[in-house]
A = this chain, B = another copy of it.
Amino acid sequence: MSDALFEKHLPLLRQALAAVESRVYWSPFRENLANLSEEALNAGRQAFEAYRDASFYLDQPGVVGRNGAEVSPYGLPLNVSYPVCNPDALIAAARTAMWPWVKAGLEVRVGVCLEILERLHEHGLEMAHAAMHTTGQSFTFAYDYSVGQALDRGLEAVACAHREMKQVPSNAHWTRPTAKGSSITMDKTFTPAPRGVGLVIACSTSPTWSAFPGIFANLATGNPVIVKPHMEVVLPLAITVAICRLTLKELGFDPNLVSLLVDDETRSVARIAALKPDVRLIDYTGGRVLGDWLEESVHQAVVFAQKPCLNTVVVDSTDDYLGLLRNLAGTVCLYAGQLAATPRVILVSREGVKTPDGVVPAEQFGRDLGLAIARVTEDPARAAELLGCLRSQKTVEGIDAARELGEVLRDSTLVEHPQWPTARCYSPLLVRIDTQLPRQFSSQSFGPFVFLGETATTTEALALAERLMAEEGALAFGLYSTNEHVLELAEDISLRVGVPLHLNLTAGVRMNQPAAFADFYGTGANPAANCSFTDSAFVARRFFLVQSQRTAAR
């Protein structure tokens, strides 16, 4: 049955392998909501509603209680409780499940992973509602990013894991000539062996998108997974785990290959679980304190970590000034600046921005950018779609702190949401900062604010951008310039600090929306992340190649 599953999904796998090889556009799981039927939309809404005011069912071992108190940033109380399980019980169950999973072979594992991805896709609408009412993403964005793009990233991880495991044949016939003119033949076998139990610690703003690569890379390479969500953003990953477990069970595998670990009411279990000797892989996305602690304190596990960073844009010159403003405004507004690759600092020379219609003074550029932000957020319905709302009340406080850092060019405003009157929906703040005092703004976390800094020259802006990205880490580096010399300088900086460079983006593509199968997310080269979605190292470090040999029968 499981072999049949691999055959069933082979066309999808082949397309995924071709896409990562050629890095062309391909997005099998993204769908336009407009193409869905009213019935499907209703069914999705009802499926989501069924989770509310209820105990979430998971037949996991070691249950010691229940916990859960999610409240939607849109104002909707969820009232879902989840089983609290002893981490030791989950780890022991995961280890028991591991060896039969390994022995099933890599193609069976890959087939099961692809089946799980398809089933998650079938539950996409309820997942989108769950993501919306925990992360604050707008429903449209949640369906695209937390479902479609997240599944794409999961599939990419499975395809890369398959590719890496298949680089080595499962067996080989090795014949060496001997000095006496005869030969000796050895039969060799090669098996990818798992590293051990994987712990995936998810963040609160991109719970599925940032967790799926680790979850599926682990499963495909033979490692069981324990998923630890942020306590205020559990539901999207609880649904994920439930579907994984159901699928595994139905296909005859131990459901404890995937389990959910939630905090109890008094303590966070992430650190406790991370230090367990049998946990050998940790995927982490989240704040700096826990990220640094994991990297420094966990020795028994490989830690793949993504932490907060400071993305920078340098504006030098352009042949499409309006396109530049529109693209930057849309980029900083998307999900109210809560994506990790959103630019936080925009640098412009006091010599102004060279355009086909003349030089725009730096001061004017600041006013124009403020107006562009106002324009994309002036219609409340469109603004709500683009901005979503702020996941945490703390992020609202972050706006106030950011306001104190310089001259407010455009203030953040509370946008009245057409459907959800208490939604924390805020447009971005634009603040002119003093580039001589980078410590003041570089430590700000993300949210709906962006800092505009002026430097004497573009060269100085590039140097400051390099320093900020090297010190604080970055996932994206934007440059607007029509000057080939400036482009070359920026390419060198991009290589040196290991940050993807986005040149002259004016329409269609935003620097904080990397595409699965084409774009690497993170490079591993700077403090933003020590890994990349999805390069060879991201999957190859999850398994070992173990071989055996014997003399071949003559």
Contact = CB atoms under 8 A, between A and B. Distances in A.
A385 to B, nearest CB: 14
A463 interface: no
Interface stretch (A116-124, A162-170, A425-433): A162-170
A394 interface: no
Contacts of A525: 193, 195, 544, 546
Interface in A467-526: 491-492, 494-496, 498-509, 515, 518-520, 523-525
A15 interface: no
B519 A175 contact: no
A194 to B, nearest CB: 9
Contacts of A173: 24
B175 A24 contact: yes
Contact of A544 (B509, B515, B532, B546): B532
A492 B103 CA distance: 10
B520 A22 contact: no
A188 B506 CA distance: 15
A42 interface: no
Given A495-B546, A498-B544, A167 B21 contact: yes
Contact of A505 (B178, B508, B520, B551): B551
Contacts of A99: 492, 495-496
Interface string A318-349: 00000000000000000000000000000000
A551 B506 contact: yes
B178 A549 contact: no
B167 A548 contact: no
Contacts of A508: 176, 178, 184, 551
Contact of A164 (B184, B191, B536): B536
Q: A interface, how many residues as a size bin?
A: 35 or more
Nearest to A168: B23
A548 B499 CA distance: 9
B523 A546 contact: yes
Interface in A404-441: none
A209 B523 CA distance: 31
A300 to B, nearest CB: 12
A109 B167 CA distance: 23
Residue picked from A32, A503, A548, most chain B C-beta under 10 Å: A548
A14 interface: no
Contacts of A25: 174-176
Contact of A504 (B24, B544, B545, B550): B550
B494 A188 contact: no
A32 B177 CA distance: 12
Contacts of A518: 172, 174, 188
Contact of A540 (B299, B496, B535): B535
Given A536-B164, A551-B507, A190 B495 contact: no
Nearest to A499: B546
Chain A contact residues, majority secondary structure: mixed
Contact of A548 (B164, B168, B179, B501): B501
A169 B21 contact: yes
A299 B504 CA distance: 37
B500 A523 contact: no
Given A544-B525, A545-B532, A546-B494, A172 B24 contact: yes
Contacts of A532: 544-545
A502 B548 CA distance: 6
Contact of A546 (B102, B500, B547): B500
A515 B190 CA distance: 14
Contacts of A500: 546-549
Interface in A527-554: 532, 535-537, 540-541, 544-551
A186 interface: yes
B188 A536 contact: no
Contacts of A32: 179
Contacts of A496: 99, 193
A176 to B, nearest CB: 4
A529 to B, nearest CB: 10
Interface string A344-373: 000000000000000000000000000000
A23 B169 contact: yes
A189 to B, nearest CB: 9
B535 A537 contact: no
Given A176-B25, A536-B164, A540-B536, A491 B548 contact: yes
Contacts of A499: 546
Contacts of A491: 548
Given A164-B536, A506-B551, A546-B523, A172 B23 contact: yes
Given A23-B190, A191-B495, A503-B550, 14 more contacts: A23-B169, A24-B174, A25-B176, A99-B496, A102-B495, A168-B535, A174-B518, A176-B508, A176-B515, A193-B498, A500-B548, A505-B551, A520-B547, A536-B537
9 contacts: A25-B175, A99-B496, A494-B548, A495-B546, A498-B546, A501-B548, A501-B549, A505-B551, A520-B547
Q: Which 10 residue pairs spanning A and B have beta carbons closest together?
A: A184-B508, A503-B550, A501-B548, A536-B540, A23-B172, A537-B540, A523-B544, A525-B544, A25-B176, A500-B547
